[in-house]
Amino acid sequence: MIVETLIERSLNHLLQQSPGAAEALLRHAGRSVRFDLALAQYDFRIADDGYFSEVGVDAPDAVIRPTPALVTRLPFFGRDALRDADYSGDPALLATLDRVFRQLDWDVEADLAPLVGDIAAHRLHVFGRDALAGLAHAFSALGHNAGEYVVEEAELMARAIDVTRFNRAIDVLTDDVARLQARLRLLEAGHA
C-alpha cells in the first residue's frame, strides 16, 4: 500500500511538472494501467482529472512490463530506455502513455531547492547528471573493452572481417560446386 501510494504520488508529481501531460490522459479517464514489475504489480486508474489513482483491477486495459534491458538502461538512458519495456493491451491507451512518458521531465532542481536552496540544488543536479553520464561512459567503455578482449585476445568470437571473408569463401565454393555439377551433367549427357 505504501509503495503504491509512493508510485502514484511520484507519477502525478511528474505529470504536474510536464505541461499537457495530464490533459493528454483525460480522454482515457476511467481506463486502468498495470505496472507489472515481476515481484509486484501496481494497478492505477486514470482519474477524471487526467492523473493516476491507485486501484485494484482484475483485467487492466494496458500492462507495462519492464524487461532486463530496460532495468539496466534506465539509470543511463532515462526515458529512452522505456522503449525496451513490454507493452500489451489497448493500443490507443498505450500510444498516449508512450507520448506522455516521453514528455515527462523531472525538474530535480525545483524539487531540491526548498530543501537545500537554489544554488545547492543546482550543484547537486549538475553533480548527479555528470555522475550518471560518467557511469554510462564507464560502462560503455567496459563493454567495448570486454568485447574487444573476447574477440581479439581470447579469440572466443570471430572478428567481423573474418566472418565476412568466410562467408565470401563459402559463396565462391558454392558457385564452384554448381559449375562443376553442370560440367559433370554435360559430360554425362555427351557420353550417354
Which of the residue ranges 33-42, 95-104, 120-129 has the most confident prediction, judged by mean pLDDT?
A: 120-129
pLDDT tens digit string along 94-115? 888 888 887 877 788 888 889 9
Confidence (pTM)? 0.59
CA-based angle 98:14:53, to the nearest 5? 80
| Between 81 and 90, residue with greater pLDDT | 90
* 136-151 CB burial, b ≥16 within 10 A, e <16: eeeeeeeeeeeeeeee
Q: Which residues pair with 113 in a beta bridge?
A: none
pLDDT of 76 above 60: no
Q: Where are the beta strands (DSSP E) in the chain?
A: 32-36, 41-46, 52-54, 62-65, 86-89
Q: What values do phi and psi take at 191, rounded to 5?
A: -95, -5
Neighbours of 123 (CB within 10 A): 14
Q: How confident is residue 73, by pLDDT bands cut at 50, 70 and 90?
A: low
